[in-house]
Structure 1
């Protein structure tokens, strides 16, 4: 008899444990009907069940509702669902273990199964499961009502019931468990929370190099945050994306910008940028492009100022992308940045029992510290799947709640943060659910980055250290540097030019660490096309042959310009046999379409000569036009005339002398003959 009872207990234990291994990042588990039930339960169309919506914050003795996604089932006949509540999570580390490996314990309370066919449904046809948690037995038969309510009587826990609890929906047919779906709930305390956890949520607009996609992502982001104005968050929008939006003629994009500007003017809302495009600071430095860091940050700030119609007094706060080295920290501090958000994988972990929930100071060699707020990798992992909006938001919100419950009575200001990028409609759904959850939480207070850094005074900050970075792959900056020099040269001649400014922006965009090599080269090609087009608007007259009859003459050189503004340059002429009395370098200013420059030249002798003419930019670094001119000189110099006359005189004297000698010889021959 004892053996039989032991076998029964083991069977019950296995029955309870088998469904308690849900995926770490989703609300679902694989449905695996046993061989004996395969004939009665049709094969599911998908491989999971899930909770698609539900409450994150729960009060005792209050009816709540879970929306169940049972679309993986071919039918609901004979299938029931019950709820199992597990022990309150005691620490954030335990929370992260459960998210990664699933539940390993037994439930502390459960509800009786209720047939799916008895549940009401939402507009999409999904079952709605009402449930209620209480320390006492129900005062009325909840399952016998027209719309049944699953009742869970938890063990007596007052006054310490508040905390995060895993809640598992168990789907059964008969005695066979066919699937489970996990969610987490946070029981709210009966009294008001006096010191909630501050949450600095930074939402990133992507830069992909595809203007249409980037502007569509921006529109989705703005719509989501505008629908949740009570959430105080920070938007990190690359300057290039703002520039593309402002240059667009689309009425939809213009409406998005109006909506974004209106959102930014409300208290607690903040727009920042971390550069013209997202860049990898260590990679730029290792590639010899440290000066480009300043150009990226300043260009991004200028674009944000233009959009907001306000002057930003400093760089930052910055959400640093792609890591940070000691040299990068010095660069940022020297540029005037003071507050940065940095992933916690780039600095040495603090030896603390609880999660880091305060900014820290980072010393630099330029005599100014940076204040660093961690981009919490655990929070980022909570929302990394992007496949189930409710579950992602649920994991993030309950993770934040657990950070709060780790130190519920700590009155010092605590703040954690993370960054989330919205690239598509599914990301926007996740964002909407997150904002809905965190803005309604009694444990969490959303704050902007400015507010997050202002919570703790500088003299109260602990000092942190950057982790030794892994080697960063440098790229060849040859073409980038060449185009940078060409654009700078043309700018020295034209001043501010919209085409050249656009080419400079394309150069900055090419450095984005979010671009593929192909897209990066595309931006370099756009800059090269501008350089070619601008330089082609100035030309020197084509090859001509000039004949000069004097030794010192003025040679006319015709220059044409298509610019509507003056073009300043330097004309350089060279020849191996001609000389230039006023020098061979002539500053020129082209004020109209046609300009003729008269250049004094001096030909020593007659003959055929070749002159090469090149028009350089003002800084002398870039030749915008060149030509060659053939000179035929027929002029005689004084020396040549004297030599020629002397030659004729000598020849004449020789002829006269020869004539006289011949005449004498003839006379002598005549005398001898006679």
Structure 2
């Protein structure tokens, strides 16, 4: 990644076609600014030639078919002139133009390699007074790994394999334990990785690598699944942001066996509302994308912590530089990408070589980097004379905050941000959350179905769900809750259409419940009738152990006859209706007033018949004469 005068390195160059006869190596003048550096990467603004050498292709060794090994050497000022070496004695970044030429000297193909030359200081002193602190942040995050049907997502599992996207990154990190980086693992990703590795041995090596890397580097806490905080707040899910962060912190702490400091966050897209929410959640150090801030006019790369201040809340911002990370995703060979990445960092280091400064680079989400790129970039940071890799905490401790001409802290402003709509509506989400609460009151918080439902709520809000297909996936996650509810409710039964006879004014109606679940549940029973009274109240909470349970409910009738009684069984919080059934109550009880009236009526009829009979006998003789 860098050379000192007198040193040399090999560049492997792929040669296509048969017309090329030699390689011309042209060193242009040292670059003086980052703007010039970025232009030269595309072959523009190369400037005048400092030196050049040429090599016949036939004389160069080959490492594999179609390639040649090109020696790039720097002339030692104290040695005799070597025509195969470039005379570059000044510390700086030199654009090296590599040209394939035909027999007539015409360029057939060319590309630019930024070469970092570092000349030692007088009497062997360091080249720069202060190395550039480099905080390299690695998000290790995949989409949620478990599908709503409980099966692993094959695409995510492939990313976790040793040869997969995250497996390759984990292996590279484990192979460079001496290079400090900052890791931002997705809690759900790491949780699934750990769980799946118990079932699939092919995931064990990559899991061991990521665990090794997590054990030697700073680990940032974060939400349980990737979320867009501005989107959730604007969509009415502000309260859920804290729940996502809390679950993420708890999950990582449990997996790593340590308590994580949640005050430093990599929040992703940030706006005013999300900043306030994070700050109110005790997050006071944010890693913010430089493109999310209002640009500032400066000829130098911003390379110090700045302040963010909104609505009376202040936080320290570590501003990541997307331009410095751009080579990592360029459509170039892994070796050239690594060289451009390291040279860009060196360019910033040389802007103010005697001032304590630092930059942050955050790998993009979904980054799929080949192993040679990662190995070369990490190896290039090892022992670099201009760069000092550190974790974010060290970066903040060592690099002083940016100040203005008046000595006051530099305050940056957030750019306006229009967040996308959340993947589900608040009404849909709250309905699912309420139904899960009903299930929790029914079977208790310790049941695995409750844990699965809580996880579904968190996953449903993930920013991974984009577009129509994403909304369907979010709905399917919430559907997991209804599946658990249906499973439980289908195993609870109450007799339907029974008839109960009361022979007294007050009595107990026996109701038999059948609980075919594997645990004791708690329900609420509500009684309703226009003709019956309930001395012990119309509502009652009942505990139902597995199998049959008969419970007596006291009722009172004030008349005889047959009356309907509606018996409704719900969860204790009444979110879930388990069953509503109608019972017929037949009362044969006759009250004291009824008996008195009946006896009185009988006596009245008896007297009436007696008087009537005597009256007829008195008039009978008269009729005979």
Question: What TM-score does the superposition give when structure 1 sets the normalisation length?
Answer: 0.80
1:320 CA drift (Å)? 1.1
1:236 aligns with 2:184: yes
Contact 2:560-2:590 within 8 A present in 1 as well: yes
Are 2:441 and 1:506 equivalent residues in the alignment?
no
* Contact 1:386 1:426 (8 Å CA) reproduced: no
Give the superposition deviation at 1:220.
2.3
Q: Against the structure 1 CA distance between its residues 113 and 230, is the aligned structure 2 distance closer, same or farther, given a 3 Å change threshold?
A: same
How far off is 1:125 after superposition?
A: 5.0
Give how far 1:177 is off. Answer: 1.9
CA distance in 1, matches of 2:547, 2:204: 39
Match of 1:384 among 317, 324, 329: 329
Q: Does 2:571 align with 1:617?
A: yes
| Corresponding position of 1:104 | 45
Q: Would the alpha carbon gap of residues 164 and 636 (structure 1) be closer, same or farther in structure 2, given more than 3 Å must change?
A: same
1:318 is matched with 265
Aligned to 2:550: 596
Partner of 2:36 in structure 1? 94
Match of 1:369, SS?
Answer: strand
- Gapped runs of 5+ residues in structure 2? 145-152, 404-408
The yes-or-no answer on 1:303 pairing with 2:222 is no
Cα displacement string for residues 167-198 of structure 1 (whole angstroms, at most 9, x for unaligned residues): 12111212332211222111113232331111
Q: 1:262 aligned to 198, 208, 212, which one?
A: 212
Matching of residues 232-631 of structure 1 within 5 Å: 232-248=180-196, 249=198, 250-266=200-216, 269-312=217-260, 314-321=261-268, 323-365=269-311, 369-385=314-330, 388-410=333-355, 412=356, 414-421=357-364, 423=366, 426-456=369-399, 461-470=409-418, 472-474=420-422, 475-493=424-442, 494-515=444-465, 516-631=470-585
8 Å contact from structure 1 (residues 346, 467) kept in 2: yes
Shift, 1:599, TM fit: 0.6
Aligned partner of 2:170 in structure 1 is 222
Aligned counterpart, 1:24: none
Aligned to 1:39: none
Q: CA deviation at 1:497?
A: 2.4
For these two proteins, the number of residue pairs brought into alignment is 593
Q: Distance in 2 between matches of 1:482 and 1:213?
A: 34
**Partner SS state of residue 350, structure 2:** helix
Partner residue, 2:75: 134
Contact map agreement 1:422 1:428 (CA 8 A) in 2: no
Instruction: Tell me whether 1:81 sits opposite 2:11 in the alignment.
Output: no
Judged with a 3 Å threshold, the aligned counterparts in structure 2 of structure 1 residues 353 and 109 are, in CA distance, closer, same or farther, namely closer
Aligned partner of 1:18 in structure 2 is: none
Shift of 1:68: 0.9
Q: Are residues 62 and 387 of structure 1, via their aligned partners in 2, closer, same or farther at CA, if it must alter by over 3 Å? A: closer
- How many Å apart are 1:457 and its aligned residue? 6.1
SS at match of 1:121: coil
Contact 2:432 2:481 in 1 (8 A): yes
Which deviates further from its counterpart, 181-190 or 105-114?
A: 105-114
Distance 1:667 1:221 in 2: 130
For residues 296 and 20 of structure 2, the distance between their equivalents in structure 1, rounded to whole angstroms, comes to 54
Query: Which SS does the other structure have where 1:297 is aligned?
Result: helix
What CA RMSD, in Å, does the superposition of the two structures yield over aligned residues?
3.0
Q: Tell me if structure 2 keeps the 8 A contact 1:199–1:417.
A: yes
User: Equivalent residue for 2:150?
Assistant: none
Change (3 A) 1:347 1:523: same
Describe the SS at the equivalent of 1:265.
helix
Question: Partners of 1:663 and 1:388 in 2: how far apart?
Answer: 135
Answer yes or no: is the 8 Å Cα contact 1:364–1:370 preserved in 2.
no
Please give the per-residue CA displacement for 1:116-146, whole angstroms capped at 9, x wherever unaligned.
232111146521111223387994776xxxx
Provide closer, same or farther for how the CA distance between residues 115 and 651 of structure 1 changes in structure 2, counting only shifts above 3 A.
farther
1:663 CA displacement? 7.1
Q: Which moved more, 1:561-570 or 1:431-440?
A: 561-570
CA distance in 2, matches of 1:479, 1:244: 26
Alpha-carbon shift at residue 394 of structure 1 (Å): 2.1
Q: Partner residue of 2:115?
A: 185
Residue 169 to residue 598, structure 1, CA distance change in 2 (3 Å): same
Asked if the contact 1:339/1:453 (under 8 Å) is kept, the reply is no
Assess, with a 3 A threshold, how the Cα gap between structure 1 residues 222 and 636 changes in structure 2: closer, same or farther.
same
- Residue 165 of structure 1 pairs with residue 94 of structure 2: yes
Shift of residue 482, structure 1, vs aligned partner: 1.2
Does residue 202 (structure 1) correspond to residue 140 (structure 2)? The answer is: no
How big is each residue's C-alpha offset from its partner over 1:54-108, in whole Å with a ceiling of 9 and x where there is no partner? xx312223222111123xx2x4355322112222221112223344x54134541
Contact persistence 1:558–1:595 (CA under 8 A)? yes
CA distance, structure 2, for counterparts of residue 488 and residue 588 of structure 1: 18
* 1:509-567 CA-partner distances (Å, limit 9, x unpaired): 11111223233233222233233334444443444222333331101222333455543
The answer to whether the Cα contact below 8 Å between 1:82 and 1:110 also exists between their aligned partners in 2 is no
Structure 1 gaps of 5+ residues are 1-55, 143-149
Rounded to whole Å, the distance in 2 between the matches of 1:485 and 1:243 is: 26
TM-score using structure 2 length: 0.86
Return the alpha-carbon distance in structure 1 between the equivalents of residues 402 and 326 of structure 2: 32
Q: Assess, with a 3 A threshold, how the Cα gap between structure 1 residues 395 and 532 changes in structure 2: closer, same or farther.
A: farther
Indicate conservation of the 8 Å contact 2:439/2:571, yes or no.
Answer: yes
Contact 2:304 2:402 in 1 (8 A): no
1:462 Cα offset (Å): 2.8
CA 1:596/1:77 → structure 2, altered by over 3 Å: closer, same or farther? same
The one of 122, 136, 143 aligned to 2:63: 122
Contact 1:77 1:117 (C-alpha < 8 Å) held by counterparts: no
